Chain A
Amino acid sequence: LAKTTQPISMDSYEGQEVNITCSHNNIATNDYITWYQQFPSQGPRFIIQGYKTKVTNEVASLFIPADRKSSTLSLPRVSLSDTAVYYCLVVFNAGNMLTFGGGTRLMVKP
Chain B
Amino acid sequence: EPEVTQTPSHQVTQMGQEVILRCVPISNHLYFYWYRQILGQKVEFLVSFYNNEISEKSEIFDDQFSVERPDGSNFTLKIRSTKLEDSAMYFCASGRGSGAINEQFFGPGTRLTVL
Contact = CB atoms under 8 A, between A and B. Distances in A.
28 contacts: A38-B43, A41-B111, A43-B4, A43-B93, A43-B106, A44-B43, A44-B91, A44-B106, A46-B103, A46-B105, A91-B102, A94-B96, A94-B97, A94-B98, A94-B99, A94-B101, A94-B102, A95-B48, A95-B50, A95-B55, A95-B98, A95-B102, A96-B48, A96-B102, A97-B48, A97-B58, A98-B33, A98-B104
B65 interface: no
Interface of B: 4, 30-31, 33, 35, 42-45, 48, 50, 55-56, 58, 89, 91, 93, 95-109, 111
A42 B97 contact: no
DSSP majority for the A interface? Answer: loop
Interface residues of A, number: 23
B44 A49 contact: no
Contacts of A87: 43
B23 to A, nearest CB: 11
Most buried by A among B93, B101, B108: B101
Contacts of B56: 96-97
A6 interface: no
Nearest to A46: B103
Contact of A43 (B48, B50, B109): B109
B97 A95 contact: yes
Interface in A52-110: 87, 91, 93-103
Contacts of B99: 94
Contacts of B93: 43
